[in-house]
Structure 1
Amino acid sequence: MVGGLFRHLRQNLDFWRNNVCINDNVLQTAHEFGVVKVVSCLSTCIFPDKTTYPIDETMIHNGPPHESNSGYAYAKRMVDVHNSACWTQYGRRYTAVIPTNIFGPHDNFNIEDAHVLPALVHKTYKVWGSGHALREFIYSLDLARLYLWVLREYDEVEPIILSVGQEEEITIKDVVDAIVEAFGFTGPVIVSF
């Protein structure tokens, strides 16, 4: 169960409950059927709200996630805990990938439920927030290729961040500026707080 900021705010408990159940069912069933490798998908929102940059995989459990999506973030963190326990108790090489913010064809552009980039495309003329928040993005097809690489080549239990190798995160304002330029938009860009 995934969604954007406003859906997380409305359904925080639903995100926690549904994702914990999904994760447990998938990993337990895989174990019971002797599946030797499972690659689960986490999210960058699992990282602590108060952190330093750049972030890396060792920082997942270093503090609480942002309260706006804590249900989802904690449920996803439990995948890492479950994977580690499967390794310790049964020697299962279950791992997880942490893709940066995904975008691509067939994305969800609904302003209430979309993730950052498709929501910004939808609101090319309006940005919510200061524009200073940092993000890193990955195109969905690049993520799919990296996911296959993890499935075939990555034999660790520890989660791995999947990124296209940008040197650093970019600000939301920079993303908005790029979208405005790509659309050839010449009107005002309104920033609201």
Structure 2
Amino acid sequence: MSDSFAARPLDRGAPFYVAGHRGLVGSSVWRKLESAGFSRLLGQTSAELDLRDREAVFDFFAREKPTNVILAAAKVGGIAANSTFLVDFLSENLRIQVNVLDAALAHGVERLLFLGSSCIYPKLAPQPIKEEYLLTGHLEPTNDAYAIAKIAGILHVQAARRQHGRSWISAMPTNLYGPGDNFSPRGSHVLPALVRRYDEAQSSAVPLVVNWGSGNPRREFLHVDDLASACLHLLDNYDGASHVNVGTGEDHTIREIASMVADEVGYTGETRWDTSKPDGTMQKLLDVSMIRELGWRPTIGLREGIASTVSWYRDNIGAVRT
């Protein structure tokens, strides 16, 4: 069975299931699909459909019969959560993925996009990281359980292509941020954590902010609305066996990111770095040559994106995930 097929634009009138449509990624994807003219979007909250429940997932697919699926549902968290709740991240993500992908296979889903994470790559991968570096070295220990689950999802998609000829693909985004993010102290990723920390320090006139690590690791950040744009672009234009990196191709130190956030919230106090806390991978920059060759580039600059995220956070302070 061939691993490559001819891509064609999606039918905007076909039923389209967005798994995880209330999360950071899923909500942005939903907005993008609506604006692109998709008229039969399907979404279920976790209270309505527990994706860890295999029977419930199969019943949903049998009832709704989606033609297209984006699997954006996942248990996610920052370095503290990933290194503390390893079993939870491994078990829950594996169950979500296996249930959705098996049900999609059983009920004839034509096009499916599985979303992973750049943490799938080896801790010491050459920079920038090419898609082909997957499974060539040891993972970062602070998030290896989550990474293994995502790697399993990539291979599940590739196996469905090879064994059953399914026109399914995977995308690996870099670090994401934007409206709808998780801003909780223990469950958030680095950029929303910084937004909350500096905004609270500014509003409370706290003279000192202490951040984890040395501040020297370099990270690439992609606005979630750019990811949503990339997802639709890939579904309309790409149908190959390899997963595809999605990012900006540019990175910054955590110190630089913290400074941008502090500037945006108006914080003028001191920042110190707790070097007793782990840094994680020192650099994680994606090679985005493949998606650029497919004709897609991000449009939201980092400072612009941070500004809009701070604004959204302040406008929704009573309702954000904290």
Indicate yes or no: 2:130 matched with 1:48. no
Amino acid at match of 1:102: L
Q: Which position in structure 2 is the counterpart of 1:178? A: 260
Among 87, 96, 100, the alignment partner of 1:22 is 96
Amino acid at match of 1:53: Q
Among 242, 245, 250, the alignment partner of 1:161 is 245
Structure 2 Cα separation of the partners of residues 192 and 11 of structure 1: 22
Q: Which position in structure 1 is the counterpart of 2:163? A: 89
Among 130, 144, 152, the alignment partner of 2:236 is 152
User: Identity rate of aligned residues, in percent?
Assistant: 35
Structure 1 residue runs of 4 or more that deviate by more than 4 Å after TM superposition: none
Query: For residues 40-81 of structure 1, what are the alpha-carbon distances to aligned partners after superposition, in whole Å with 9 as ceiling and x for unaligned?
Result: 110111111122210121112112221111111000001111
Amino acid at match of 1:189: T
Amino acid at match of 1:59: Y
How much does 1:17 deviate?
Answer: 1.0
Unaligned regions of 5+ residues in structure 1, if any? none
- Relative contact order (alpha carbons < 8 A, sep ≥ 6): 1 or 2 greater? 1
Unaligned regions of 5+ residues in structure 2, if any? 1-74, 199-208, 276-322
Q: TM-score, normalised by structure 2?
A: 0.57
Structure 1 Cα separation of the partners of residues 259 and 186 of structure 2: 21
Q: Which position in structure 1 is the counterpart of 2:183? A: 109
Would the aligned equivalents of 2:114 and 2:157 in 1 still touch at CA under 8 Å?
no
How much does 1:111 deviate?
Answer: 1.6
Q: Which position in structure 2 is the counterpart of 1:66? A: 140
Query: What secondary structure, in the 3-state scheme, does the structure 2 residue paired with 1:79 have?
Result: helix
What is the CA RMSD across the aligned residues, in angstroms?
Answer: 1.3
Amino acid at match of 1:119: A
Would the aligned equivalents of 1:93 and 1:155 in 2 still touch at CA under 8 Å?
yes
Task: Please identify the structure whose Cα radius of gyration is greater.
Answer: 2
Structure 2 Cα separation of the partners of residues 57 and 122 of structure 1: 33
Q: TM-score, normalised by structure 1?
A: 0.93
How much does 1:144 deviate?
Answer: 1.0
Amino acid at match of 1:60: L
Query: What secondary structure, in the 3-state scheme, does the structure 1 residue paired with 2:138 have?
Result: coil
Q: Which position in structure 2 is the counterpart of 1:120? A: 194
Q: Which position in structure 2 is the counterpart of 1:129? A: 213
Query: For residues 136-180 of structure 1, what are the alpha-carbon distances to aligned partners after superposition, in whole Å with 9 as ceiling and x for unaligned?
Result: 1111111111111112221112111112x33x3211111011111
Amino acid at match of 1:179: V
Q: Which position in structure 1 is the counterpart of 2:85? A: 11
Instruction: Give the aligned length.
Output: 191
